[in-house]
Structure 1
Amino acid sequence: MADQPPLPEAKKRRYLVVGTSGAGKSTFAQALAAKLGARYIELDAFYWGESWQAVPHSQFESAVREASHGPCWVADGNYSAVRELLWSRATDVIWLNYGRATVFSRVFWRTVSRGLLRTRLSHGNRESLRMAFLSRDSILLWAYTTFEKNRHKFSQLREDPHYAHLQWHEFRQPRQARAFLLAVDEQDR
């Protein structure tokens, strides 16, 4: 059997997309994976089972381990339970570090839209307006209360020598993320 030609540099990258809930991690990660022809790894789909019940940790870790094999993938999510596994395999971190107004408006409209349209997510789960506005488990409340904590956490992780092998791309404005995706297109030409 003849040797395979070496992969282009872009096909050797393994990206993590992180940021506060509602920043647009999944949307960005899906677009990047599509442009690279890479596997898209949605951590929420592995973490949540039916009726918004978390799957057992061993099941979650096993699914993430299997999905993150290979030379090129894009994963989205902030799950510390699989951080060591994913971050040790990744080459790049894309941090969607947008302002509170941008993040909160995105999560608000996404939640309202999904609630009104009864959009099915992984495992048949749906977001409800009742849960969004009248529950302590509200994604809106979660996004608001974890905003500063996430900024602090990712700033610390960026400086952690344990993750010095990672190339960081911090986007403070959505236009920076769009420009990054356009640059991926340019590299392919």
Structure 2
Amino acid sequence: MKRIVVIGCSGSGKSTFSRKLKQVTGNPLHHLDKLYWLPDWNLRAAEEQDRIQKERIKDEKWIIDGNYQRSLPIRLERADTVFFFDYPRSLCLYRALKRIVLNRKRTRPDMGEGCPERFDWEFMKFIWNFNKNNRPGLIALLDQAPAGIEIQHFRKPREARDYLRALEEQKEEEVA
């Protein structure tokens, strides 16, 4: 597990999982939101997003956290592992709202500089409609992924926690 993609709906826990995975694997972590968003919530052009991503995937080890479905094939070209957070929209919406309240007007470490947490109806609608509008495309891209990629499909938060716990135990056994 050297080149890892973490995808799923906003609020599913991708960034939290990715940070913990970084601790276990030691792989460099890249949050696409941090790389793609410019101050005041201005998104980089698609060509610039692709260039940034192509640079990151050249490395031998990495974790890339973020959906950006349009450019997922770039990551899948080199990935050996994908973690897909496929949770109910109510859970993702609750977590996103909780995050907004807890981080109000502060910029999270996994977000672009100058992009403080805020409430945005369009973002809430995106989360609410994610499983209808975005999930089918993600599933199709994963179905077309190059052979040999390990895909971990988490449908419940407990599955992700159990996976990390098992990985941590495995690492401890290797060290002992």
TM tier, smaller: 0.7 to 0.9
Runs (4+) of structure 1 exceeding 6 A deviation are none
Alpha-carbon distance in structure 1 between the residues aligned to 2:47 and 2:3: 23
**Number of residues paired by the alignment?**
169
Deviation at residue 179 of structure 1 after TM alignment: 0.9
Could you tell me whether the CA contact under 8 Å between 2:81 and 2:151 is conserved in 1? yes
Residue 108 of structure 2 is aligned to residue 125 of structure 1 = no
Choose the corresponding residue for 1:164, options 131, 147, 167.
Answer: 147
In the alignment, what sits opposite 1:6?
none
Distance 1:157 1:82 in 2: 10
| Distance change in 2, residues 1:156/1:89 (3 Å) | same
For the aligned residues, what is the CA RMSD?
A: 1.7
Larger radius of gyration: 1
Structure 2 unpaired stretches of 5+: none
Which residue is equivalent to 1:65? 54
Q: Which of the two has greater helix per residue? A: 1
The alignment's TM-score, normalised by the length of structure 2, stands at 0.86
SS of the counterpart of 1:164?
Answer: coil
CA contact (8 A) 1:19 1:150 kept: no
* Secondary structure at 1:124 match in 2: coil
C-alpha deviations, 1:116-158, integer Å up to 9, x for none? xx211421211223xx2xx4x3x21211122322322222223
- Seq. identity, %: 28
> 20, 44, 53: which is aligned to 1:31?
20
Query: Is residue 2:4 matched to residue 1:15?
Result: yes
2:92 to 85, 103, 108: 103
TM-score (norm 1): 0.81
